[in-house]
Amino acid sequence: MTNREKYKQAFSVLHTSGRISLEEERMVIMKKKARFQATAAAVAVCLAFAGGGSIAYAADIGGVQRTIQLWVHGDQTDANIVYNANGSYDLWLEGDDGTRKELHGGGVAIEDDGTERPLTEEEIMDHLNQPEVDYREDGSVWVYYYDQKTDITDRFKDGVCYVKVSNGEKTLYMTILYEGGWCSSPHKYESPDSFR
Amino acid sequence: MRLPTQELFEKYQNNLYAVAFNVCRNAEDAEDVVQDTFIQYYSIRKQFDNEQHIRAWLIRVTINKAKNMNRTFWRKNKMSLEDYMETLLFETPESGELFEAVMNLPEKYRIVIHLFYYEDYSVREIAGILKLSEGNIKVRLSRARSLLKDKLQEEWEYDE
């Protein structure tokens, strides 16, 4: 057998489990969840740059429900959130079409000495208030941060866009790879190679 | 042109899963990446030149998302690579050894060698997908082959 044949034989054992769904409603919900996961990634990068350790996220359920105001696509929206003791959260809000949307996330922070602790409510809110990069169906790309909505479609050069966003108190320097994720830092634009 | 998401899913889900697993080394993360990749395809209205263009785009997005997944330290009840390998039914012991040897290569070598030997991409095509120079890909491929040869001895031939 050639190396290629051996390789294909070895890796032909990998198959999806069948739990992936392409059902449309699930795709729409998952798209929203994916946005929040991308936001979580940015939080981890920011804290790493600040020397405050890294953050890990998980999904679990349980806790006390509260009403918060959340910025979604530049509009302030009421949402109900449950902070769980294990650092995860469950969130419900009303979508543009009046239907109820559910979001879940959260996780643990890893201290410098390697010990883990649940994320605090403040850390979870920080993560929920991170900027959002949205690839619209019309092909345009937008960045949302609090009440700001910025069309960055034509600002990509060689697949990379640099955007500064601010809510008046906090400024973030975002490096965005077209369809390839993004990171932000409160100090400077990070190199795309640092997270490519 | 565009093709229906379902059609692409049925055709490429296992290939994308293998690519994602190659980067993540975790089954659950790899499945999340595959799901997210098809959501991305479903969500945008990007037009493609042909099916090969779509396939290359899906693989590139899968790799990017898998790398992002690794960076997020996203936690689930993850199964270790060793435990997961015990659930896989390799045709021969040598296949299992090759799989393990590849999965123990550095990530930048794993993905290049996978695209070359599993997806049958040329050095030039891999350079296009990974946005790296052809020279860089050749170096990575050469080093990966060398590491596999050291590990697998006679089970891995010298090749170009």
B37 within a domain of the structure (yes/no): yes
Query: For residues A135 and A161, what is the distance between their CA atoms, to the nearest angstrom?
Result: 13
pLDDT along chain A (196 residues), means of 10: 94 90 65 50 35 34 71 80 81 71 73 69 81 79 89 85 90 88 86 74
Query: For residues B159 and A50, what is the distance between their CA atoms, to the nearest angstrom?
Result: 46
Residues 6+ apart with CB under 8 A from B149: B156, B158
Q: CB distance A181–B17 less than 8 Å?
A: no
B68 touches chain A (CB under 8 A): yes
B44 touches chain A (CB under 8 A): yes
Residue B16 domain boundaries: 1-79
Percent of chain B with pLDDT over 90: 57
Query: For residues A196 and A80, what is the distance between their CA atoms, to the nearest angstrom?
Result: 35
Half-sphere exposure of A183 (CA within 13 A, CB side): 23
Taking contacts as CB-CB distances below 8 angstroms, the residues of chain B near A192 are none
B57 and B128, same structural domain?
A: no
Looking at residue A193, its pLDDT comes to 78
Unique residue bearing structure tokens 């350079």: B127
A116 and A139, same structural domain?
A: no
Q: What is the number of CB-based contacts under 8 A between chain A and chain B?
A: 139
A15 within a domain of the structure (yes/no): no
A90 within a domain of the structure (yes/no): yes
Q: Looking at the 3D structure of chain A, how many domains does it have? A: 2
B84 within a domain of the structure (yes/no): no
Looking at residue B126, its pLDDT comes to 95
A184 and A94, same structural domain?
A: no
Q: Which of A130, A164, A188 is the last residue of a domain?
A: A130
CA–chain centroid gap for A28, Å, is 15
Quote the minimal CA–CA distance from A142 to chain B in Å: 13
Query: For residues A176 and A171, what is the distance between their CA atoms, to the nearest angstrom?
Result: 16
Quote the minimal CA–CA distance from A155 to chain B in Å: 17
Q: CB distance B38–A7 less than 8 Å?
A: no
Looking at residue A177, its pLDDT comes to 87
**A180 or B73, higher pLDDT:** A180
At residue B110, does pLDDT exceed 80?
Answer: yes
Find the range with the poorest average confidence among A79-83, B113-117, B147-151: A79-83
The answer to whether B144 touches B109, Cβ cutoff 8 Å, is yes
Looking at residue A126, its pLDDT comes to 79
Taking contacts as CB-CB distances below 8 angstroms, the residues of chain B near A13 are 88-90, 95, 99
Taking contacts as CB-CB distances below 8 angstroms, the residues of chain A near B71 are 41, 44-45, 195
A104 and A30, same structural domain?
A: yes
Q: What's the CATH number where B101 sits?
A: 1.10.10.10
3-class DSSP assignment, residue A179: coil
Count the residues in chain B.
160
Looking at residue A135, its pLDDT comes to 82
Taking contacts as CB-CB distances below 8 angstroms, the residues of chain B near A41 are 68, 71-72
Q: CB distance B89–A13 less than 8 Å?
A: yes
> Which tens digit of pLDDT belongs to each residue from B3-51?
999 899 999 999 999 999 999 888 988 998 898 888 888 877 778 899 9
B94 and B75, same structural domain?
A: no
